[in-house]
Each structure stands twice: as structure tokens, then as C-alpha cells.
Chain A
Amino acid sequence: GAGVSQSPSNKVTEKGKDVELRCDPISGHTALYWYRQSLGQGLEFLIYFQGNSAPDKSGLPSDRFSAERTGGSVSTLTIQRTQQEDSAVYLCASSSSGTDTDTQYFGPGTRLTVL
């Protein structure tokens, strides 16, 4: 079946603008994760959704970052009032609820550039 998809693949925005990044997980996967990959910080966990449970937001770097997951499927990561340090590749991953719950499958990422 189809893998994890993300859109847009590239996003260029001006400092101070809001952006929305979308993730479509593998069909049937109940867990969804957002990570950020930047030159200075490597790969960092941002937020985790598992079914209908409250999300684990412990990795969000500031209150400008938020995410939601509608209907247990598609997720949107929103960054408000973007700053230049938000420039990074934002990766989404999903995993199943079966026996292989800790194997995460990644999308191609969204490259965000804040000018």
C-alpha cells in the first residue's frame, strides 16, 4: 500500500507568517509522530499521537508550534509567527497498533525555509 505522504514537499515563507504542514499516515496506522531535522540539532522528536489519547507534546520547542490529528488519520503541524530558526525538514512517521508498534515508517518530509 501507499506509504506516509507529506505536503508540501517544500515551503518558503517570510518571517512572522504562519505555516501548515500536512501528513497522511499509512492507512490503518494508529500512531503518528512528527520530528524535525535541522543542521544544528539533528533529528528531534516533536509530538506523538496514539489513537484517541491525548497527544504527547513534550518535544514541541515553543507555544508557536501546535499539531492536530483529525479523525485519527491526517495530521497538520502548524507553526505560528515563523522564525528563521524554524527552518528545517519536518518529518512525519506512523506506526501500527499490531505486534510491530515501535517500527516507524517515515514520509519524505517537508523542507521549510523561513526568510
Chain B
Amino acid sequence: DGGITQSPKYLFRKEGQNVTLSCEQNLNHDAMYWYRQDPGQGLRLIYYSQIVNDFQKGDIAEGYSVSREKKESFPLTVTSAQKNPTAFYLCAISSTGGHEQFFGPGTRLTVL
């Protein structure tokens, strides 16, 4: 939505390779999130960050890593340790103290 960008829209990788998905926002929001969505499934939280240089594991953090070096950026690395990496990855933000989630357009990752 609006000032949240994720690129690329589609990404293909070979099995065993690490891949980094980008998420950038220009809305000056503190909280950023990464979700994974599988076909016909809900949204599962991977990692979230409430402030620069701090992040917390979500429900399915194994095989993923993140960094939050800048307020506007929250990249997600899908490592080779993630057993089923093919999925739709969504980045979201929320304003300070709020729970409403505003999502980016997402990246569809396919691991061959």
C-alpha cells in the first residue's frame, strides 16, 4: 500500500541458494513485519521489528534471517535451511502503537 515496496514481484531460485527479499517503506513507520502465505492458507508471521537494530522471531522464523539497519528497510533472507521456501512473502508496516497492518505488494518466491 502506498509507500511500501517489495521487489521483485516474482523470484526464482535454485534449491540450496540463499535469497534476499527487499522491503522498503517511506511512511516513517516504526514497526515492520514479514509474513509467509501458502496457497489457501492464512498469514504466518516470520519476523517483526519495532525499532531500528532490533527484531523478534515470529511463529515460523526457522530458516529465515532479517536485519533492520535503517528505519525504512527490513530485508528478509530465505536461507538454504528453509525446507519449503516456495511461497508468497508479504512485508507489512504499522504505525507506532497500532495493530493495523499495511502490506506491500508481495514477492512470489519459487525454488526449483
A and B interact physically: no
B residues touching A (Cβ–Cβ < 8 Å)?
none
A residues touching B (Cβ–Cβ < 8 Å)?
none
